[in-house]
Amino acid sequence: MSWQTLPPQLRELALTVLTAKQLEALKLWDAGSGYRRIAVQLDISPSTARDRVQNAVRKLERAAREKGLA
């Protein structure tokens, strides 16, 4: 799943279901940053960066299924 390639309705859904921190981490990850780089940019640990990205992807996939978008 990539932010840039998401259909507009999924991007809108992401804006409503993800936390600001999850959204920020997901966008950085989509832009090509690895977990360590995300961690440095957000001043968090690499494991927290990984967790935020993975939780964001799961949360968005679940919301998309519930809305019939996936």
- Please give the Cα distance from 40 to 9 (Å, whole number): 31
Question: Does position 6 have pLDDT exceeding 90, yes or no?
Answer: no
Give the number of residues written for the chain.
70
pLDDT tens-digit readout, 10-32: 899 999 999 999 999 999 998 89
Handedness of CA 70, 29, 27, 57 (dihedral sign): positive
pTM of the model: 0.87
CATH number of 8-67: 1.10.10.10
pLDDT of residue 69: 84
Q: Which residue ranges make up each domain of the chain?
A: 8-67
pLDDT tens-digit readout, 38-67: 999 999 999 999 999 999 999 999 999 999
